[in-house]
Amino acid sequence: MRVTVKSESWDGVDGARLRAAQRAELDARYGNDDHEPGVPPTAHDVGVFLVARDAHGAAVGCGGLRLLGPDSAEIKRMYVEPAVRGTGVAVAILRALEHEARRRGMTKLLLETGTAQPDAMRFYEREGYHRIDNFGPYAGEPLSVCYARELR
């Protein structure tokens, strides 16, 4: 599927809709709405927010970067609508996030996913991320699974 991935406002209508759909999906997978350790991301701490759009301009996925320090960031709110999963949208978003991180001088990306998301775990492993000990707010969280990738 051909998509364009561009920076958009965190507060934009399409980004908010996609993030709400992600929350609803995760709430259903985990059976509650208490499955995110730490402080939820906001417009103030997500320095990069990208939205993927299909050939007709419809928003079909998103992802962001929460800056952790001068050389690292955490991938947040990576989501692709179920109807277009497996078509390359997630890879396009991930590569655009990596590109933006490199452009900003970052050398490492980290992320957290969860035990009820084996599809996400397979995706990140396939795309070159390796499992690490849970970091920051995810340390000691039994539902959290963390990954990292060195950027070159």
Q: Is 89 exposed, middle or buried (0-12, 13-18, 19+ CB in 10 A)?
A: buried
> Which segments of the chain does DSSP mark as H helices, in order?
13-30, 89-103, 118-126
pLDDT of residue 86 exceeding 80, the answer is yes
What domains appear along the chain, each with residue ranges and CATH number? 4-150 (3.40.630.30)
- Phi-psi bin for 138: left (phi > 0), alpha (psi -120 to 50), beta? alpha
Give the closest residue to 12 by CA, choosing from 57, 54, 45, 50. 50
pLDDT digits (tens, 9 = 90+) for 117-152: 999 999 999 999 999 999 999 999 999 999 999 998
For residues 78-96, average pLDDT: 97
pLDDT digits (tens, 9 = 90+) for 101-112: 999 999 999 999
